[in-house]
Every structure is written in C-alpha cells, then in structure tokens.
Amino acid sequence: MSVAILGIFGLMILLLVLLMLEILPVDVLGIGLLLVLWLSGYVDGEQAVSGFSNKAVLTVAVMFILSHALVKTGVLGKLAGQFVDLERKKKWLGSGLFFLTISLFSGFINNVAAVAIFIPVAMHMASQSRISPSKLLIPLSYAAIFGGTITLIGTSTNLLVSSISESHGLKAFGMFEFLPLGLVFLVVGILYNLFVLPRLLPSRAPINTLVGKYHMAPYLTEFRVDDDSPLIGSSCRAKQLNERYEITVLAVIRDGQRITTDIGNLLLKAGDILLTRGALDNFLKFHQQEKVLALSDVKLSEKELQAGDNVLVEGLIGPDSTLSGKTLRDLNFRRQYQAFVLAIGRRGITIKKKIAHIKLQFADTLLMLMPADQIAEMRNDPNLIILQHHEMNMRRKAIRWLAVIVIPIVMLLAATGVMEILAAALLGVFILLVTKHISTREAYGTINWQVIIFIAAFIPFGVAMETSGAAQLIGENISLLADLFPGSMAPYALLSILYLITSIFTAVISNNVAAIVLTPIAIAAAVNLGVDSRPLVFTICYAASASFMTPIGYQTNLMVYGPGKYRFMDYVKAGAPLNFIFWVIASVLTPIFWPF
C-alpha cells in the first residue's frame, strides 16, 4: 500500500471523526479538506475547484430557489391544512395521505423545504388526535426521505452521483429512472410509518396545546427578583425551587457579576437576575407564586404586554438560516422581527449564557412573544420555521400561479429530454425573476450555501480517492469479498455489500459525503468484476438517500429532533429495522430493474 493511499485513508478517518464530533461546521470542514488535498498535491488547482463548477452542485442551488418560490405561494400550506380535517374523520386514511403527499412533494422540491412546510401541520394533527407529536415527526422526516428516492432531483445525492457517473463515462440518469425501486420504497415506507413506527416511537413530546406544547424542549430564560418577592433573604434550596417548580437555576447575576458556585445556598436579594432552565408552564407558576419578574416584564413596556393581539410563537432555526452563529443582540432581533424572544431551547442541552449572548445554531427553538399580524410575514422568512399552529385566518398574498406551474414545466422539459435539468431549472428561475415573482435578493437568500459549499468542497476528495489508487484498492477488496460467493452470484453479493457499507457510512457522516466517496469505488469494483456498473451506482444513490437510524445521517432527521424531544436511541430503534428492510429489498430488486 503506497504512502498516498495511506494518507487518503488517514484523511478519511479524521474526516469521519470530525463530522461525528461536529467540532467544525460542515462547510468549514469541507474547505479545510479541500485545502489539505490541494496543498499536499493530491489534486491540482483545477481539480480543487471543480466542485464549484459541477452541474449537480449548480442544479441543487437552483432547485433551492424554485422550491422557495413554490413554498411562498402558500399552495402547499393550504393543501397540507386539509389533512387536519381528514385526520379527524378517518385517522389512518388521513395519516396515510399526509405521508404520501409529503413524499410526492419531496420528489419534486427540496425535502428540507417540504419538512419545514409540514412540521406545523404534524404538530396540529397530533393535537387534534390527542397523541404526542413525537409519534408523527420522525415519520414525517422518513416520508420526505422516501420521496427523495423517486426522482433525479428528489435529493441532492441523486444529482451528485449522476454527475460523478457521467464524469466516468456512464450515461446520465433520467428524471424518472429512479421511479421503479423508489415507488417500492415509498409504499413499504409509508406502511412502516403507519403500522410499525407508532409501536416503536415513545411519547416524548406532550400533547400539543398552546401552553403544554412548550414542554417539548427545555428553555432558558431570565427572572429578576422583585422588591416584594418572598425569595428575598431566602435561598433556592430553602425554597425548594427545583422540587416545587421543576426548574433549575443555573446562575445568579448580581450587580453585573455572575455567580455559579453554591448558588443553591446563596441568599437572594432584590434585583438579582436568575438564569433559569425549565418548561414554559413551570416558568409561569414560578413567576406568579414567587413574584419574580419574567424577561418580558422587565424588558417590555406595559402597552406591549397588554396588547390584545400578542401571541406566543415557537420558531425553529432552519439548516439554511442566516441567523446561525449570531446572537440576538448581533441581529437586533426585536427590531428586525417585531418579536421578543422569551426563551431558547437547544436539543436538550443546557445553555449557561444570557439569552442575548447565545450564538444561535441550527435546530434551536425560539419562544417568542409577537403581534399576531406579524406571523404571516415571519412565515415567509426562510430563516425561521414557525412551529406553532394558530387558529386564526391570516391574510395571504394572492396565489401567484406562475410559480405553481414553473416546477412542473421544468420537470417536463427535463423528463422528455428537451433540455438538461440544469438548463430547465435555470429557465424556470429566470422566468420567476423577470416576472418579479421573486427578487434577486430573495433568490440568493434562499440558497442553502452551507450545503452548496459542503458538496462542492468534498467533490475533490472523490477525485483524490481515484488518483491516489485508494478507490481502486477498496473496490478490489470489496470484489474479493464478492468473489467468496459462486461466480454467478458475485455481482449480486457485491451490490448487497455496497448497499450495506453505504448505509453505514451515511448514518455516521452524511449522504453526500458517502456518495462522493463510494461512487468511484462502486465503479472500480464493477470494472474488477467485469460487470455493468450502473446497478451498483443506483445502489449507492438509494443507500445514501435512505438514512433512518441516526439524526445526523440526514438533515430532515435533525430538523425534527428538537420539536419531537427525541433521543439518539429513538432513531436507532425506529430506523434500524427500516434500514434493514430497505437493504433486503434493494438487494433483491435492484438487479431486476437494472440488470448487470
């Protein structure tokens, strides 16, 4: 084994560790990897930047814009709302059609956008059916993943693998070439969602009510000890605050100084600020009985507090949000959004900073007090996903039908071969920009640049895998495993082994990295066995897209992690059986749909 191959394997192990530990944002990690490959001579300058001119990467960027344009019309939200009424009448039919609709939309728009649209609907359906939202949110994510397997543009992975395959001389994938096995996955997956997952998923998030819903994640907020508070002269331990209110005082701020040691026995004074962690209804009880001033009491005017149209709203920081990495103070959040942040929740992690100083992250939840008439505008903001369902009629802009028909036209042009998918998608965006259905600023803002940079920066790693000989070496060893089976069975064994390896890779890193690393390996292994590589390449697509057993394996899984109050093992228990089922199905059916 050469030094170059050892170096690539070392980089791969380091990459896996860094991705799992989440020490750096994935786009920063990708740029760092690109620089290491370039400066160490694994790739030259042209290969290093090849990802940024890759057609698949550009297509993914353009599809973000088209997806946003469709979401903005409100058509999807209106359609989704119909399932709430249907769910009341016929539960299984309502849930089945709900999951089917999510899957179908995910086949044609970005599945992250689809999940963002349907999270509030799932929360409301859970409330109406008197079940925990955690029974619906993982199935919602899975349904979006099923949809990604039915078309070329259903997931960025399919576009990426298609592009890598073309660079190796293979024929480009057709728009609906994924449909045969994708439909099988979709049907089996929805049945799994309906009849198996309810028995595997816990009821972690309580039944959704306007106040009770906020049990679903611990929040951090601040209270000030008022002049007539019974806490004065006493301590947290003496008052048994944890036992009586199920809240935790993390720190006391007195005269600008933070006190974090032995705060349980600290005698409290008027004006002390208590940095507190707990659930909303417990905060309310604490506020009323101990006469402490909540953050809103301290920092909002009497007029603002007594305004009759103020509502509590919960927002989720999305994966493409420009709010990530910034504090509320940096953003001047109250002025920008006309909303006051009462509390912040972060996937069960205890935060020990003042709210204004916390750097926001993907999947953080913000509990906000805001005017009801501001909600409609916030729903159109790509930086925040509104989770709270409101029983009120909010005025929408008139539906812009051109945006509704552009995506089907793009699909038709690409599917019939009249235009390449990238050209058709660019044409659609051009039409929407010229007709002012979206602005150029809006178009740039809706692209998830972290995903784009991440994919583009990792593409040279696939190149380095090949040029160093690492891909060929792994391909040869996988072929040797397949050779343990009788001659005619070797290709089928190879396909099954590749699916399993890709599925494991995707669970611990991400779908796109797994695809970039393993697609050249699949092609090399096929050459070693002397068989058509196309079935193996499709295997990589399906295995990389169908990631169910970890929250980090796919973005939509992480999006529902906080709202569902899930734990890591919930994904393992719910997703591992489905991963196994799909592995068996793919091992049997892939060679039938795409013969060797």
CATH at 368: 3.30.70.1450
Asked whether residue 346 is assigned to any structural domain, the reply reads yes
Q: Is 11 helix (H, G, I), strand (E, B) or coil?
A: helix
Looking at the fold, whether 220 and 319 belong to one and the same domain comes out as yes
Longest C-alpha distance within the chain, in Å? 85
pLDDT of residue 114: 73
Q: Which residue has the tokens 């990708």?
A: 30
Looking at the fold, whether 578 and 495 belong to one and the same domain comes out as yes
pLDDT of residue 435: 86
Is the Cβ–Cβ distance between 173 and 162 less than 8 Å?
Answer: yes
Domain range for 490: 3-42+448-593
Query: Alpha carbon 85 to chain centroid distance?
Result: 27
Which residues sit opposite 314 in a β-bridge? 367
The three state secondary structure string of 191-229 is HHHHHCHHHHCCCCCCCCCCCHHHHHCCEEEEEEECCCC
Looking at the fold, whether 369 and 467 belong to one and the same domain comes out as no
Last residue of one domain, picked from the residues 386, 402, 421: 386
Asked whether residue 500 is assigned to any structural domain, the reply reads yes
Looking at the fold, whether 251 and 371 belong to one and the same domain comes out as yes
Asked whether residue 327 is assigned to any structural domain, the reply reads yes
Alpha helices in 130-263 (DSSP H): 137-148, 156-167, 179-195, 197-200, 241-245
pLDDT of residue 388: 58
Structure tokens at 180: 């045969």
Asked whether residue 326 is assigned to any structural domain, the reply reads yes
Asked whether residue 93 is assigned to any structural domain, the reply reads no
Looking at the fold, whether 323 and 453 belong to one and the same domain comes out as no
Asked whether residue 165 is assigned to any structural domain, the reply reads no
Last residue of one domain, picked from the residues 370, 386, 402: 386
Is the Cβ–Cβ distance between 144 and 106 less than 8 Å?
Answer: yes
Structural domain tally of the chain?
2
pLDDT digits (tens, 9 = 90+) for 6-34: 998 888 888 778 866 767 777 788 889 89
Looking at the fold, whether 380 and 452 belong to one and the same domain comes out as no
Closest CA to 84 of 130, 121, 131, 134: 121
Looking at the fold, whether 244 and 380 belong to one and the same domain comes out as yes
Asked whether residue 317 is assigned to any structural domain, the reply reads yes
Cα separation, 59 vs 424, in Å, equals: 10
Looking at the fold, whether 515 and 368 belong to one and the same domain comes out as no
Looking at the fold, whether 381 and 463 belong to one and the same domain comes out as no
Distances (CA, A) of 195 to 3, 94, 206, 387, 556: 52, 14, 21, 26, 21
Looking at the fold, whether 378 and 523 belong to one and the same domain comes out as no
Looking at the fold, whether 236 and 379 belong to one and the same domain comes out as yes
Looking at the fold, whether 242 and 319 belong to one and the same domain comes out as yes
Average pLDDT of adjacent 10-residue blocks, the chain of 596 residues: 86 78 77 91 89 80 78 65 66 83 84 71 71 88 93 86 87 88 96 93 61 42 86 90 81 81 88 79 76 62 45 77 87 81 69 73 80 71 69 40 79 78 88 85 77 79 81 76 78 92 81 82 85 93 90 75 78 94 96 92
Asked whether residue 168 is assigned to any structural domain, the reply reads no
Last residue of one domain, picked from the residues 338, 367, 386: 386
